[in-house]
Chains A and B, each alone.
Chain A
Amino acid sequence: MNQTLTGARPLLHASLKQDARNIGPWIVLITALSATSVLAYAWVFPDLEDRRELAATLGANPALSLIFGPARDLLTPDGFNAWRAGMLGAFFAALMAIFIVVRNSRAGEDSGQAELLASGVMGRQTRLAVALVMAALASVVLGVFSWLVTVACGGGWVDSLTLSATYTASGLMFAGLAGITAQIGSDARTANSIAVAVLGIAFIVRGYIDASQAGDWAVWLTPFGWLEEVRPASGNNWWPLLLALGLAVVLAAVAMVLSARRDFGLGLIAPRRGPARGGLVASVWGLALRINRGPLISWLIAFAGLGMVFGFLATSVGDILGNSPLVRANATTEAGLIFAFLVTILQMAGIIASVFGVQIVMRIYAEEIDYRVEPVLAGALSRAKYLASNAVLAFAGPAAALLIAGAVIGLIASSAEPGISAGDVLLQALATVPAVWTLIALALATVGANPRVRVAGWLGIVAAFALTLLGPLFKLWDWILGISPLWHVPNVTVASPDWSGLGWVALVALGFTAVAFAGFRRRDVI
């Protein structure tokens, strides 16, 4: 074995054993995404008539191709699966791979575990190599497992294999990317943020290209476009997978070279000195702002960018929308069509904004288990004030992000389409805020009252996403769709918008927040 990789085998063994329960849920959930589409398809769309209607309505909706990519064939279970679970599965596989690589390489340097390992009989590159191998193994296992389960649920052998192979390819590419960001960032949080930002940008650019039907060549601009060109269940074109594999190998090689040149515990960005006095940070409000400053700035910029993408998309979808009976049913004019599209788009932006809010909420607990809340609470401030300093940011940050996106979308859309008013778009974004707050308040309630169930905060977002975007595909009943707070957001341009649902949603948010504060006052703080 190569000197630089000494000790890889025992480390891999130990890491896999320890990380398996973190990786397992990802594999199961992504597999479920694929398997359920095959199962549900036969049940929800039993005959050709239903399937034609599906293809004509949802399949032609550009708001959905932003997430799912183009619908090539919705008349077979495998074709439906490739659409519903293809891009989404690839996205989550990429996220899984990023987290595996950073958790097993960079995070160890922050916590000090890696120092113990590095002082043992272990090559300089071993830890990164092991992290990359783990992500690669997880991606392959995901592919095989998803293939077999999907086939068992009624998917075609070859079609399901092709689809599952795109998951593996996505995982491999983004494992390589995370290997690089783990060398650039000066801690695990930064490494994760950079990698996820690249993933998000690649996914949104791919969505924009698909939804605006920008042209055949543009599809090749992102790695997700390559996976689309694999065309599972409608051609099974394997060679773009080789392209993905090639990219994965190159990225991993660059990561290994960078890691060989880097000092342990440091990134390519060197730490700087800072102020000798407290200034802004000398209050608990300033502290909350300061420790979330980086994510706050990044998210606000991201939402301005998202607003631009969605805004330009809105201007180019008018014609495409005209063909969509679903949208046509809700509006009569082209401006009305575009606005109905914007309502959906802003719901999607709302779900993304709630990820940001829940991140801030989860940070409260991360601070606690790092023993950084203890010295703060040893000061003369009440627990309620400490929680409030973070909660205010968790509510205000995503609201600001959503309003920025709404303003940018409004400006761009109104300049191209006179029938759209920028004020209405902003108002629509504002109407989406209470629904976003409900999702954030759910996470706050768990962290405040009982952090052991805090995963419910993330599951809330997953559920809202599934119900808002996937639910209508399955023709679910309204009372189920209504579980998602976003379902209650009215279209502000209709004659008399129904605000009552939103009022209830706001009350639920208030209730969750009250639980958070009552619970945080009563429980033990670590």
Chain B
Amino acid sequence: MTSAIVVSGLHKSYGSTHALDGLDLEVATGEVHGFLGPNGAGKSTTIRVLLGLLRGDAGDVSLLGGDPWHDAATLHRRLAYVPGDVNLWPNLTGGEVIDLLGRLRGGLNEKKRDDLLRRFDLDPTKKGRTYSKGNRQKVALVAALASDVELLILDEPTSGLDPLMEAIFQEEIAKEKAKGRSVLLSSHILSEAEALADRISIIRTGRVVETGTLDQLRQRTRTTIRAVFADPPRTLDDLTSIHDAQLKDGRFTGTVDNDRLSAAMAELSRHAVTSLTVAPPSLEELFLRQYGNGDAA
């Protein structure tokens, strides 16, 4: 299967700032790919290179099999984009903007347009300046989702949406995925990525530091163990398989490498355990671990 997006060794500098520093990214056709990273990590810069708005300094970029810089106009017929910060023309109505962006892409699916306006509860007759942030975001979402394209590039698409609308967004993305569309979903809302994404790439200071399915990422990190002992041990030195072991008010916490899990269980069972939880790391923990410990990337 060919990939919708292949980026390798991409560099981009603005003056002395190195925004992208050898970024690699691959989005397979038909998958929803979560693109995670904190503010300023280079997510939007990557997306602008993919859209042919910026030209990379070095590296290879392939989008739907073409070169996003040279073939921008033809490739853009096959993709739709939702910016993270939607700036509408103050004097144009939402309906006008939806039709403009749709027509520029080569046409809209009228039925989907009506359907999405209803589902997102958006009034298309209001002027750009009178929309709230969430409603501006909905204008861009309707414009993107109402067109039948192969690839959706979404840059923090749900910022400003209320939880109800967020749920509708997730349903719509699931529908797109069922139709075999590819989605690049940039986000820092981890629950959203966890719910939607087949695979995830985590970006940090301009390079991708982790990539894989959520299960694969979990495999690479330690499992968290919480336990309560009937008779707390005086020392934790005998728990050699467990990292970061801590005992506080009778409650024990620690982390363990996945291949040492049974050894850790054996060590714990020497003590009288009254309660035990063994949890795989949540995406949030994965994420925080990537960013928490200095420059260990």
Contact = CB atoms under 8 A, between A and B. Distances in A.
Counting from the closest, the 5 A-B pairs by CB-CB distance are A278-B99, A379-B104, A274-B93, A276-B95, A378-B81
Interface in A326-383: 370-372, 374-383
Interface in A274-294: 274-279, 281-284, 286-287, 290-291, 294
A380 B104 contact: yes
B85 A371 contact: yes
B25 interface: no
A110 B105 CA distance: 30
A105 B95 CA distance: 31
B43 interface: no
B18 interface: no
A273 B125 contact: yes
Contacts of A526: 53
B95 A275 contact: yes
A524 B126 contact: no
A187 interface: yes
B286 interface: no
Contact of B96 (A278, A370, A382, A383): A278
B140 interface: yes
A273 B81 contact: no
B101 interface: yes
B265 to A, nearest CB: 52
Contact of A525 (B53, B73, B103): B53
Interface string A259-283: 0000000000001111111110111
Interface residues of B, number: 45
B48 A374 contact: yes
Nearest to B48: A374
A272 to B, nearest CB: 7
B87 A281 contact: no
Given A274-B125, A378-B153, 11 more contacts: A274-B127, A275-B125, A276-B95, A276-B124, A281-B100, A283-B100, A283-B103, A294-B91, A376-B101, A380-B73, A380-B76
Contact of A382 (B73, B99, B126): B73
A374 B53 contact: yes
A382 B73 CA distance: 5
Contacts of A381: 73, 76, 104
Contacts of A273: 93, 125-127
Given A374-B48, A524-B54, A525-B53, A379 B125 contact: no
Q: Interface residues of B: mostly helix, strand, loop or mixed? A: mixed
Contact of B83 (A278, A287, A371, A383): A371
Given A377-B53, A380-B74, A281 B127 contact: no
Given A273-B125, A382-B72, A282 B81 contact: no
B86, B91, B105, B140 pick with most chain A CB within 10 angstroms: B91
Nearest to B106: A380
Contacts of B92: 274, 281, 290-291
A275 B93 CA distance: 7
A294 B77 CA distance: 32
Interface string A381-408: 1110100000000000000000000000
B98 interface: yes
B127 A375 contact: no
A284 B96 contact: no
Contacts of A380: 73-77, 104-106
A287 B55 contact: no
B147 to A, nearest CB: 10
Contact of B103 (A110, A278, A524): A278
A525 B105 CA distance: 19
Contacts of A283: 100, 103-104
A276 B93 contact: yes
B150 to A, nearest CB: 13
23 contacts: A271-B129, A272-B127, A273-B127, A274-B92, A274-B125, A276-B93, A276-B125, A279-B96, A279-B99, A281-B92, A281-B100, A283-B100, A284-B104, A290-B89, A291-B91, A371-B85, A374-B83, A375-B140, A378-B79, A380-B75, A380-B106, A383-B72, A385-B73
Contacts of A383: 72
A210 to B, nearest CB: 38
Contacts of B90: 110, 187
B101 A375 contact: yes
Interface string A425-465: 00000000000000000000000000000000000000000
Nearest to A293: B91
B99 A277 contact: yes
Contacts of A271: 127, 129-130
B178 to A, nearest CB: 24
Interface string B92-119: 1101111111111110000000000000
A378 B100 CA distance: 12
Contact of A372 (B89, B102, B124, B126): B89
A371 B91 CA distance: 16
